[in-house]
Structure 1
Amino acid sequence: MRLIISIVFIFFLNQSLLAEPLLKSQIDRLHQYAGHWVSSDNIETENFGAFPAIKMKNISTMNNQSMQVEVLQYQNGHYKTLLTELIGYDTKSDQIIALGQNQEGVIFKGKGLFSSDKKWTMRDVDMLGNFYLQVDFEFQSPSNILVEGFDVTGKSLWKTRYIKSNPKDKNIGIQLVSVHQEMLNDPAGTLRELGRMGYSYIETFVYDNGTFYGMSPTEFRQEVRLHGMQFMGSMTFHDLPASDNWESALKWWAKTIDDHVEAGVHYLTTSNNQLKGVTTKLELQRYSDYYNAIGKLCREKGITFAFHNHADEFGDVEGTRIYDYFLEHTNPAYVYFQADIYWMKVAGVEPVNYFKKYPNRFLSWHIKDYKELGASGNIDWMEIFHHAEFNVPKYMVAEVEEYTYPPLYSVQLAWEYLYYKILN
């Protein structure tokens, strides 16, 4: 019996592993190379100083089919271009093709393939057809590449470790539900990847009796900061209590708020999964009173409270839309709103109409699409972000919950979409 159970367990484990989305196409695999990279202090470490020996900027073009590469070397107090290169996937030959030039003026061309989603080899020749260099790439994580050059005999000439170091100047946040399983399995490693991808801050939703992913508020704050980000926001949940439990609910919130203050959080949000059962405005008013009470507790401790929507908020109760009722019957001094733009679109309402009518009520946007951000074409992000009648709120938080790719790849695409295509 134990043998049968073990076989069944192994089968389902293998099925689970097989279900994990992989990078199957050469184009998707090549896109891992996009971004800003720096060389580590040596190949045995991932650490790098203020002036890494090498900086590399790889900008995707042609719908991620190719990228423009510039490699710079630190020389005599300045970064000077070491080589430039255009790398792309050629559909006719099913090869990755490169054309580049180094600082000596030598133009080279190369071709190669990914043998897996993590290993890539390019063989370069000069314009006379002579062997120039073979380069092997090993992606040890989405933000960590080991690159090695070989001569014609296969002798190693050099080896460099590149660490992704995307810019953070556009202040883009990430909701950690996007990488929920990764955070449960390896919170420190996942935060490291997100920080290197260019995210400036995180928003979490796993507060549990004073802990975040098993860490105390102070420990989690320090872990987030270690990876170059801030712990800005947290989604927390405590259902509207029965009338005789009101005080105990507010006591729970007071403890929760204290823990978040210790963690350095700037704002708390909550959502409501009970709205399908609401039938009267009297019930809506009780929710409004509840949110006002929570918001007041937050304000007294120096943090901001906001209500997060899904689609149910846009249903009607006694002829009034629930979301509109909350906007009109919560105190603007205590209760802000975090607009989940995806769920607004699912509900059939136009987010811009709310942002125009209530320009000062929205603390944050959740920026999410039907799969990877921007992939569906169903949401006009340019209109939303560049509208003349309202400003982008203080906190813009990317979120991915449906995936074509592995989650860490998908959240990298979300950052790139916002950084390069929307916030330009």
Structure 2
Amino acid sequence: MISRRNFIVTAGLATTAVLASPSFAFSMNKKEIGLQLYTLREELPKDVKGTLEKVTKAGYNNVETYGFSTKDQFWGLTPKEFKKILDDNGLKAASGHYNLGSFLYDGNTTELIASIEAAKTLKSEFLTVPWVDEPFRRNIEDYKKIAARVNEVAKMCKSAGLKLAYHNHDFEFQKHDGITGFEILLKETDKDLVFFELDLYWVIHSGNDPLKLFRENPNRFKMWHVKDKDKTNNDLNTEVGSGTIDFKPLFAAAKQSGMIHFFVEQENNFASNSFESIKTSCDFISKNLIS
């Protein structure tokens, strides 16, 4: 579905000063480890309560939602009902992936307004754009239109007490007349209102360096997706710490990035089952990246 290229992080930026900075140390001392719930997309719709209980047992205290719609809401649960299950399991939902209906393409606000209300009910900090459909991202003008619409959403989010973030895949790094879609999004969006959830896997998969993005765009990447690349098949994921990505220099540069939340995500290739995989990733992060 998406063109992929092999790439392994080799950059060696790792400074003790960054890790020791008060703001970064605070978030790390809390040991807040998030999970993008799309990782459990097979289990969650069947048993929301039981699945979230296992998320907590695996060591997570923060989640990022997905799948909200005006028809089914959160797998048949209202935002208020879903929030109670989160609360019962000691989980917060700092961010959520909301498709926003067709707003990015035609300006229809129906799904967008419902999504903002859902995010407010969950007491989320960020409403995150997860994906742009292929027909609407084919050239520079498409990306400029998306950027303009994202700016509109960001203003609506601010009025509602939320922040707006954009989540990347690798297609944003394809060049159009010498410039990438991601460069357009960074340049054409309001840096005070629009933030980015940097999917480290997809940045690296596209042949780019997250550390370079941090240096060139400090404080824009308030959230990350943390998922690893399988050692034998770089088109597949693996548990964090089991693959080819060296996360230590990335976490060392978290303050420069602006990162305040990160979410483990694994889309495929679970070692045994998804619950064991998310625990393996959580344990590695807790012991090696934020302790």
By the TM > 0.5 criterion, same fold? yes
Deviates further, 317-326 or 381-390: 381-390
- The aligned amino acid for 1:398 is V
Deviates further, 347-356 or 272-281: 272-281
Q: In angstroms, what is the RMSD of aligned CA positions? A: 2.0
Q: Which residue of 2 aligns with 1:208?
A: 69
The answer to whether the 8 A contact 1:240-1:290 is kept is no
Other structure's SS at 1:182 match: coil
Q: CA deviation at 1:178?
A: 1.1
Q: Which residue of 2 aligns with 1:217?
A: 79
Q: Pick from 35, 38, 46: which aligns with 1:174?
A: 35
Q: TM-score, normalised by structure 1?
A: 0.57
The answer to whether the 8 A contact 1:202-1:229 is kept is yes
Q: CA deviation at 1:201?
A: 1.0
Offset from partner CA, 1:310-349 (integer Å, 9 cap, x none): 0100001121111011001001122110000001111000
The answer to whether the 8 A contact 1:250-1:294 is kept is no
Q: CA deviation at 1:389?
A: 7.1
Unaligned runs of 5+ in 2: 1-28, 230-237
The answer to whether the 8 A contact 2:143-2:184 is kept is yes
The answer to whether the 8 A contact 2:221-2:257 is kept is no
Q: Pick from 13, 38, 51: which aligns with 1:190?
A: 51
Distance between the aligned counterparts of 2:104 and 2:215, measured in 1?
36
Please list every run of at least 4 consecutive aligned residues from structure 1 whose deviation after the TM superposition is greater than 3 angstroms: 238-243, 275-280
The answer to whether the 8 A contact 2:101-2:110 is kept is no
Q: Pick from 206, 211, 231: which aligns with 1:352?
A: 211
Q: Which residue of 2 aligns with 1:383?
A: 249
Q: Which residue of 2 aligns with 1:228?
A: 90
Distance between the aligned counterparts of 1:172 and 1:388, measured in 2?
14
Offset from partner CA, 1:239-287 (integer Å, 9 cap, x none): 65597x42xx224312220122122221111133434764432222111
Pick the structure with greater CA Rg.
1
Structure with a larger share of its residues in strand: 1
The answer to whether the 8 A contact 1:174-1:199 is kept is yes
The answer to whether the 8 A contact 2:147-2:185 is kept is yes
Offset from partner CA, 1:158-206 (integer Å, 9 cap, x none): xxxxxxxxxx930011011111111112110111111122211111111
The answer to whether the 8 A contact 1:313-1:322 is kept is yes
Q: Does 1:284 align with 2:143?
A: yes
What are the residue-to-residue correspondences of 1:252-291 with 2, within 5 Å? 252-275=111-134, 278-291=137-150
Structure with a larger share of its residues in helix: 2
Distance between the aligned counterparts of 2:104 and 2:290, measured in 1?
45
Q: Does 1:365 align with 2:232?
A: no
Q: Which residue of 2 aligns with 1:415?
A: 282
Q: Which residue of 2 aligns with 1:395?
A: 261
Offset from partner CA, 1:103-144 (integer Å, 9 cap, x none): xxxxxxxxxxxxxxxxxxxxxxxxxxxxxxxxxxxxxxxxxx
Distance between the aligned counterparts of 1:309 and 1:382, measured in 2?
21
What are the residue-to-residue correspondences of 1:78-97 with 2, within 5 Å? none
Q: Taking structure 1 as reference, are residues 313 and 388 closer, same or farther at Cα in structure 2, changes over 3 Å only?
A: closer
Q: Which residue of 1 aligns with 2:5?
A: none
The answer to whether the 8 A contact 1:275-1:313 is kept is no
Q: Which residue of 2 aligns with 1:312?
A: 171
Distance between the aligned counterparts of 2:216 and 2:39, measured in 1?
30
Q: Relative contact order (alpha carbons < 8 A, sep ≥ 6): 1 or 2 greater?
A: 2
Offset from partner CA, 1:373-417 (integer Å, 9 cap, x none): 1211x2110010113872561111111112122000000001001
Distance between the aligned counterparts of 1:363 and 1:421, measured in 2?
21
Other structure's SS at 1:362 match: coil
Distance between the aligned counterparts of 1:265 and 1:230, measured in 2?
8
What are the residue-to-residue correspondences of 1:33-52 with 2, within 5 Å? none
Offset from partner CA, 1:7-29 (integer Å, 9 cap, x none): xxxxxxxxxxxxxxxxxxxxxxx
Counting aligned pairs with the same residue, the percent is 24
Q: Taking structure 1 as reference, are residues 242 and 366 closer, same or farther at Cα in structure 2, changes over 3 Å only?
A: closer
Q: Does 1:298 align with 2:160?
A: no
The answer to whether the 8 A contact 1:271-1:308 is kept is yes
Q: Which residue of 1 aligns with 2:18?
A: none
Q: Which residue of 1 aligns with 2:196?
A: 337
Distance between the aligned counterparts of 1:417 and 1:345, measured in 2?
20
Unaligned runs of 5+ in 1: 1-167
